[in-house]
Amino acid sequence: MKVAISLPDTVFSQAEALASQMAVTRSRLYTIALTEFLERRQSQSVTARLDDVYSQERANVSPDLAAAQRSRLKQSAW
């Protein structure tokens, strides 16, 4: 499908340079970018819904397991 859009000059210039660097057409670059954006938004939406579901119920985690989880989280790089 053909679509006409308006972009700021700087965004257009950066996109042109990236398309050239990647050796893809402008259309292909925009398709890649929009696909990645949509996938990320869908993933965020799923996460938000899961957060909502799990915030409704109290977790029944044993104190020992909760302590082990907290300890492990402190060791993880976020």
Cα separation, 7 vs 21, whole angstroms: 20
**Residues 19, 28 contacting (CB under 8 angstroms):** yes
Cα separation, 76 vs 73, whole angstroms: 5
Q: What is the pTM of this model?
A: 0.57
**Residues 30, 15 contacting (CB under 8 angstroms):** yes
Taking the domains of the chain in order of start, what are their residue ranges?
Answer: 9-75
Q: In which band, very low, low, confident or very high, does the pLDDT at 78 lie, cut at 50, 70 and 90?
A: low
Over the stretch 39-62, which tens digit does the pLDDT of each residue have? 988 887 878 877 887 788 777 888
Selected residue with higher pLDDT from 72 and 34: 34
Over the stretch 14-39, which tens digit does the pLDDT of each residue have? 999 999 999 999 999 999 999 999 99
pLDDT at residue 3 tops 80: yes
Q: What is the 3-state secondary structure (H, E, C) of 7-56?
A: CCHHHHHHHHHHHHHHCCCHHHHHHHHHHHHHHHHHHHHHHHHHHHHHHH
